[in-house]
Chain A
Amino acid sequence: MLNFALRRFLLAALVALTVSIVAFFLVRVSGDLATSLAGQEASAEDIEEIRKAYGLDRPIIVQYADWLGAAVQGDFGESLFFPDTVWELVSSRLPTTLRLAMSGLIISLLVGIPFGVIAALRPNSWIDRLAMTIAVAGQAIPTFWMGLMLMVLFSLMLGWTPISGDESWRHFILPAVTLGYYSTPPIMRLTRSGMLEVLSADYIRTAYAKGLRPMPVLFKHALRNAVIPVVALASVQFGHMLSGAIVIESVFAMQGIGYLAWESILRNDIAVIQTILLIVCMFYVFLTVLSDLVNAWLDPRIRVS
């Protein structure tokens, strides 16, 4: 176990290092930092001056080494645009995005898995078809559209939820539903197909034949095996939610790291980008570990390898 944890930790560090190197160079080629820092009406001289003042005229390797050296000691530097340190900026906005993504994921699991099971129990029935149509066709609706439609209906016309902002839990209802909606269909489809496969497997038939009660068979044996890929997918979906949060946060005017990341990428605010990537990458490593552990618990045979 200790060995396992250590290996995962090393992996995380390696991923973080790779991502930070790649991101650093990508940001550099995607536009001049000094130009975006100086603003749209700056002259060439302003830009040169800023380049010098911020040390952007030094070789890129040196700049990266500088950043890395500080980051290792826990200093993530200062944003080029905001007066705050990157850590203040990111840590003040992280909770909103996490809350959003968590509620989105919970919604999609709560909707996706039961509907997937029902659909598998009655394959090609009207409920299966309906669930599929609603779920799948909606994938073609972009997030901003869905978000604004819900906003117009529930906030503007019905007045049930606030239009925008993130001050209370009520502000999170529509964004979380929007976000969750997009993760539901793959989860639902995978559950359905997994269940279909497992239900026709011999051991389930045997279990039924032996006269075991259907509910325990369904949940203890069938679902347990069917959701293994779903668990893995859910971990990725959570990550996709962080990027889906970009649009949601901008539509609902929420202060999260999704929109901050987007803004920072467009402005080449390198220190902020790096820190957010670092956090995202830690989440992935953690989620991968978590989903592996959950799956090993669901199916002990996976552990043996």
Chain B
Amino acid sequence: MADAIVAGSALDPARALGPSPTSRFFRRARGHTSIMFGGGVLLVIVLTALFAPLLAPHDPYAQDLFKRLLPPFWMDGSVPEHVLGTDNLGRDYLSRIIYGARVSLLIGVCTAVISGVIGTALGVTAGYFGGRVDIVITFIITTRLSMPIVLVALAIVALVGGSLHAVVLVLGLLLWDRYAVVMRSATQQARSMDYVSAARAIGCPTWRIVLSEIMPNVINNLIIIATFEVAHAILLEASLSFLGLGVQPPAPSWGLMIAEGKEFLLFDPWVIAIPGVALSILVLAVNMLGDGVRDISAPENRS
């Protein structure tokens, strides 16, 4: 069978040669459209979030009940001072989008990182060691998967109240399931490669095998899951906010703006479409960046 043939490319003799890996990485990145585009958009969003007070035309908290739900610029009845219109309480929608980027980015990235670390650690450990370790970790994974997030969220709200920290922690500590499951099976697959067996045979320490032989082979899967978890976390924050766990009003977040737009869905779809498009752009950028990083760091592209 063909799959018995050694997939030797990942041993990657090129790694030790030439300029340092980091500088090669950046050189390659510059020529890669996905990275340039994805990274560029992401950078703009990050800068927007950082400099929100300078960029926002209005105070995102200033409400004016007499100017509620003014439509955005492309619709009839819009006013020039509110380019993207106003929300249900008459707050400037553009300013809320700009400030909302802070919360959403924070939640998306922190959650993806926390849960990524947990999930990868569990998944790789289970996949690499197998046996009893695998059983214990499978137990943890299955228990987690069977536990509804809503239930945890409501309990935490009742116990300690809601806050931004609470939602990041809850999401980070709960959303590692997809990482763990995918990493586990990817590691199982990588572990059975001959070069891993070879490394073990020559007495390489486990941590080195995991870091230098297993990880490069499973990192693609990690990046893909991570890019989806960013969007997942941002949207989930919205539903948790509605249960009282997420950001506390009047602070805006994209997820919350989308969830609040639900009431206006049929007749004023722009209320939901504006934060929805913002989130789509963020997710797309993260994905393109992830894709690009995958392309240029993948073993098969290195020679």
Chain A interfacial positions (CB closer than 8 Å to B): 7, 11-12, 14-16, 18-19, 22-23, 26-27, 29-31, 123-124, 132-133, 136-142, 144-145, 148, 152, 185-186, 189-190, 193-194, 196-197, 200-204, 206-207, 217, 220-221, 224-225, 228-229, 231-233, 235-236, 239, 243, 261-262, 265-266, 273, 277, 280-281, 284-285, 288, 291, 295, 299, 301-302, 304-305
Contacts and interface: CB of A to CB of B under 8 A. Distances in A.
B211 interface: no
B157 A30 contact: yes
Interface in B56-84: none
Contacts of A273: 151
B110 to A, nearest CB: 18
A136 B5 contact: no
Interface in B130-177: 130-131, 135, 138-139, 141-143, 145-152, 154-155, 157-159, 177
A265 B148 contact: yes
B185 A228 contact: yes
Report the interface size class on chain B.
35 or more
Interface stretch (B12-20, B23-31, B92-100, B218-226): B218-226
A22 B149 CA distance: 12
Contact of B284 (A124, A133, A220, A262): A133
Contact of B188 (A133, A194, A200, A302): A302
A150 to B, nearest CB: 12
A185 B1 CA distance: 31
Contacts of B231: 139-140
Contacts, number: 204
A29 B5 CA distance: 56
A265 B291 contact: no
Contact of A229 (B4, B139, B182, B191): B182
A136 B265 contact: no
Given A228-B185, A288-B138, A29 B155 contact: yes
Given A202-B8, A232-B185, A186 B276 contact: no
B274 to A, nearest CB: 12
Nearest to B265: A148
A206 B2 contact: yes
Contacts of A235: 181
Interface-central residue, B135, B150, B152, B299, by most chain A CB under 10 Å:
B150
B139 A15 contact: yes
